[in-house]
Chain A
């Protein structure tokens, strides 16, 4: 994140002062003035370059398997679908669409148009031309959207690739280009539409709901395609009817829509309301800071606060519980007031099944186990909002005067229940979709939940991230302390649910798994509570 220093603030003022009295200085002049005074250290350039290289390596590794389906070997298998389950193609394509819709929702949550904190503070509320000010963020958003869409288009093609009738050779390059152009066009059109809707809350909400509906339909379709092969076969038959002309029309229409939405958006930039930009820029700035430090709790904190703002609730009497239990009840009541969140949480239990079928193409594996661990921790975290607030600021805890050890013990119940319920549901779905065989798997979720809850509790009680930990004194390549702390939480969860995760990875469930998992969960959660309580004041 770029902040304006005192020197830069002086530079801005100087740039404004040197402009003619009757005309506002141009954005370009001010930016070049600031740029001229900012010295970019070589370490910054190196760090950014290094991050890009690492990202490209990971991305190529992730995409190598799907992209290989476009090769001649897969082409020869076309029509016969040898070695390639139809359900996997359908689930994969649906997953790409679902993830794209989710990304579009994310984009809308933060704008899509937003300024850096410095620009929002110094340049927004000034006589500068609004369109000139927004030119750079608009170009950035458009570039990112085009790249994401391009990637999405290619991925969708790779998923359906083996079922497309294009002869016995590899997919023609024209198909690849048309899919990429089509994906980029669709993504750009929606992002530009989101920018147009940004100043209008009602349209913004409608667009977000539409993306949510697409996401849900895609995810449900993915699971349904996996469960009922008839549906998968019907869809892959449709894939087979695809022609170069069809792809060309899709690409042309999407590009035309993107151009239209982009032109309309460009016309409205001059009068884009400052109030909307300020609010979205603040939210985006905080979120980016949180994301840069992998501070997921801060992101969920922001989302939680946004949810409650402007809502009128009905106060209910506090139940007659002992002090620590009464305190813990705060999270139970909060969650009880968020049925939609619980529904989304329940729906997310589909992810391991999808991850298993669409990405790995195997009935079980490390990916499913990782998805289960991540989902269990995230579910548990949803029951720790009050714990997180007390970790960040102990003022209210002191006012309540509750023994921290008793409070922690009472507060462990909800995350344990949530993690157990989510794992049980996810394992039920894995068994129902046939990814795992046998009906005892759900019981394993109940056994592993408390072990995973220890990770959620530890994460919630991790001190807020101090940006100084990521300061210039930290050598490039060195692991920052906050990352170590968060990784330790994940390791706690991994240990707490190890027998269950190992069984899922192997795809075999034994009686020994239960006998190992039950006491281990109790030991990990109990041990964590004991250690954390001993360290509390």
Chain B
């Protein structure tokens, strides 16, 4: 493995006296898809926000793209983070939002898809000229994911991307992440509750439990790392 895209060592994260993540080690290589799984409240979203630089761990080190994650324009030009649905700009259509995102990343260097293709792939042609306000929650989730693929990036952080999506589209999204994004060298780290989706995306499963981590290869269903570390 060359330089890892994500390298977490001995990370500990707590909210007050409640320890959410303890002694976490995680390495993700370029072009890899990693699915972070676990029950509600186990710390999946917290791990992603630490990788996005939006929270600082109480202990340990986090390295993303060979440096500590920081909330800076340079970082966000390399990393796309889809968690909560964004607040869209008023008066702009779905197509215009996607075009704007691509435009702000010009000159485009790296893999991404043009707005017209994304609208087609994400099943939004009927809503292309509408405001995102007029879309269902599932359609808005599709738009959020499409926005992340409308611009080039090296790392894609997705917090439960499957939420509000119908099963058919989940399969299409999984294939797009696997063959399109990761197939062109991009790295995906996503929190998910859907093992079928993770499997379809060809993801390596990283299971969180009791604040610790357990590596599992979804494709083979066998643990590939030691048992979880007690929190």
Contacts and interface: CB of A to CB of B under 8 A. Distances in A.
Interface of A: 304-305, 307-318, 320-321, 323, 326-327, 329-330, 333-335, 337-338, 385-386, 389, 392-393, 395-396, 398-404, 537
Contact of B100 (A308, A320, A326, A335): A326
Given A316-B96, A323-B106, A304 B73 contact: no
Interface of B: 71-73, 76-77, 80-81, 83-96, 99-101, 103-106, 128-131, 133-134, 147-148, 151
B106 A309 contact: no
B165 to A, nearest CB: 18
A310 B127 CA distance: 11
Given A312-B130, A537-B71, A326 B90 contact: no
B89 A389 contact: yes
B99 A308 contact: no
A69 B181 CA distance: 77
B148 A399 contact: yes
Contact of B73 (A313, A320, A386, A401): A401
A172 B151 CA distance: 75
A313 B93 contact: yes
Contacts of B104: 323, 326-327, 400-402
A323 B102 CA distance: 9
A385 B130 contact: no
Contacts, number: 117
A333 B92 contact: yes
A399 B71 contact: no
Contact of A404 (B73, B80, B93, B94): B73
Given A399-B101, A401-B151, A334 B91 contact: yes
B87 A393 contact: yes
Given A315-B128, A385-B89, A401-B77, A309 B103 contact: no
Contacts of A317: 99
Nearest to B88: A396
B148 A305 contact: no
B105 A401 contact: yes
Given A308-B131, A313-B129, A403-B73, A396 B103 contact: no
A323 B88 CA distance: 18
B101 A313 contact: no
A314 B96 CA distance: 10
Nearest to B132: A308
B72 A333 contact: no
A320 B87 CA distance: 24
Given A305-B133, A308-B133, A389-B89, A318 B73 contact: no
Contacts of A326: 100, 103-104
Contact of A318 (B76, B100, B134, B148): B100
Nearest to A316: B96
A395 B86 contact: yes
Contacts of A396: 86-89, 147
B91 A308 contact: yes
Contacts of A321: 103
A338 B151 CA distance: 29
Given A334-B92, A396-B86, A311 B148 contact: no
B173 to A, nearest CB: 17
Given A318-B103, A399-B86, 15 more contacts: A309-B134, A311-B131, A312-B130, A313-B91, A315-B99, A389-B87, A389-B88, A389-B90, A392-B87, A395-B86, A396-B86, A396-B88, A400-B105, A402-B73, A402-B104
A320 B99 CA distance: 11
A402 B76 CA distance: 8
B122 to A, nearest CB: 15
Nearest to A403: B73
B105 A330 contact: no
Contact of B91 (A327, A337, A402): A337
Nearest to A330: B89
A328 to B, nearest CB: 11
Contacts of A323: 103-106
Nearest to B52: A398
Task: Rank and list the top 3 A-B pairs by shortest CB-CB distance, nearest first.
Answer: A334-B91, A395-B86, A393-B87
Contacts of A392: 87
A505 B118 CA distance: 57
A331 to B, nearest CB: 8
29 contacts: A305-B133, A313-B91, A313-B129, A313-B131, A314-B129, A315-B94, A317-B99, A318-B100, A321-B103, A327-B100, A334-B89, A334-B90, A334-B91, A385-B89, A385-B90, A385-B91, A389-B87, A389-B88, A393-B86, A395-B81, A396-B88, A396-B89, A398-B81, A399-B76, A399-B80, A400-B105, A401-B73, A402-B104, A537-B71
Nearest to B96: A315
Nearest to A338: B91
Given A399-B76, A537-B72, A313 B130 contact: yes
A333 B96 CA distance: 10
Contacts of B129: 312-315
A333 B134 CA distance: 19
Given A315-B96, A537-B71, A386 B89 contact: yes
Given A317-B99, A330-B100, A337-B91, A395 B84 contact: yes
A335 B131 CA distance: 15
B93 A309 contact: no
A360 to B, nearest CB: 37
Contact of B96 (A305, A318, A401, A537): A318
A309 B89 contact: no
A314 B91 CA distance: 11
A385 B151 CA distance: 24
Contacts of B91: 304, 308, 313, 330, 333-335, 337-338, 385
Nearest to B83: A395
B106 A398 contact: no
B145 to A, nearest CB: 11
Which of B77, B85, B86 counts the most A-chain CB atoms under 10 A from its CB? B86
Nearest to B70: A537
Contacts of A337: 91
A398 B91 CA distance: 20
Contacts of B128: 315
A250 to B, nearest CB: 44
B174 to A, nearest CB: 21
B151 to A, nearest CB: 7
Contacts of B147: 396, 399
Contacts of A329: 100
A45 B87 CA distance: 38
A401 B74 CA distance: 7
Contacts of A386: 89-90
Contact of B93 (A315, A399, A401): A315
Contacts of A385: 89-91
A319 B53 CA distance: 32
B107 to A, nearest CB: 10
